[in-house]
Amino acid sequence: MSPKLISENRRARFDYEILDTVEAGIELKGYEVKAAKSGRLELAGSYAVVRHGEAELLNAQIPPYQPKNTPPEYDPARTRRLLLHKEEIATLIGKLKEKGTILAPLEAHLKNGKIKLTLGFGRSKKRADKREAIKKRDIEREIGRRL
């Protein structure tokens, strides 16, 4: 059974050249889980960092599922902890020490009833590479229309 896709960060794949990926769990509150499972998790503009030996997800938006049943102090863009083993965090730190590498969330999916994130190590694409990707996408779209 393949994982059910909840949210995808297509902008990250466009802006960065993805070198490697890793899967991580995400620590959520109960009311956030229901909102995320219903597809309200927004990864655009979010990124991951490693601080004090823990991986964290910043700027991911999870609007409340039922706004009236959510605590008044709830922040939809709060920092959320990523659940990884110590060895995985150590490899993350090693890879992030390379100049120009970032850790971007690529997608969120359900796996065995749990919400998982696929994180990608990436380097920023040059403007010419982005133009090339746009041209390639346009050519493929045109070929699809003609067929």
Residue whose structure tokens are 């994130």: 117
Q: Which domains does the chain have, with CATH numbers?
A: 4-146 (2.40.280.10)
Nearest to 117 by CA among 108, 127, 126, 129: 108
65: which DSSP letter? S
What is the full per-residue pLDDT of the chain (147 aa) written as tens digits?
567 899 899 888 888 888 889 999 999 988 889 888 888 899 988 999 999 989 999 999 999 888 888 888 888 889 999 999 999 999 988 888 888 888 999 999 999 989 999 999 888 877 777 788 888 888 889 888 888
